Amino acid sequence: MEGDPNLWRSIAGARSPEVWIALFAGVLYVYRKSPHQSRVSRVIEAGISGMIGYSIGPDAAAWAGANEAFAVILLSSLGYLGLDVLTSVVADRAVLREIIIRRLGGGKNG
């Protein structure tokens, strides 16, 4: 695989043009809606969402019985929201601690 001149062709050929258009649209949507001021941060966030859509899209489409392009655009445009929420919950230790205590059956009264 190292130095393979056809690597990018095989990656591009692994999906249909419709899927690539959906992926590009989802990435652009994330870039435009990103709250970050820095372009680099926006590009990174959009890139991560694109990679999520590219990698999980076919499996999600097969699982849901949906069109692959539809699954890709949903995952790439909305998948970053899930990551953002997960990051926020993990960053807020008090909320994370409360969730763990509730899951283990504890509470404020005992």
Measured from the Cβ of residue 80, the count of other Cβ atoms closer than 10 Å reads 24
- What is the reported pTM? 0.66
Whether residue 101 is contained in a domain is answered as no
Q: Which residue has the higher pLDDT, 30 or 87?
A: 30
Whether residue 57 is contained in a domain is answered as yes
The arithmetic mean of pLDDT across residues 15-36, rounded, is 85
The pLDDT value recorded for residue 54 is 87
Whether residue 100 is contained in a domain is answered as no
Residues 26/49, Cβ–Cβ less than 8 Å: yes
Report d(CA 87, CA 90) in Å as an integer: 5
Whether residue 61 is contained in a domain is answered as yes
- How many Cα neighbours within 13 Å face the side chain of 31? 13
The pLDDT value recorded for residue 2 is 65
Our count of domains for the chain comes to 1
Whether residue 41 is contained in a domain is answered as yes
Is residue 13 over pLDDT 80?
no
The residue type of 2 is E
pLDDT tens column, 44-92: 888 888 888 888 888 989 999 988 888 888 888 887 787 777 777 777 7
Q: Which residue has the higher pLDDT, 83 or 37?
A: 37
Whether residue 35 is contained in a domain is answered as yes
Task: Domain of residue 17: give its range.
Answer: 7-77
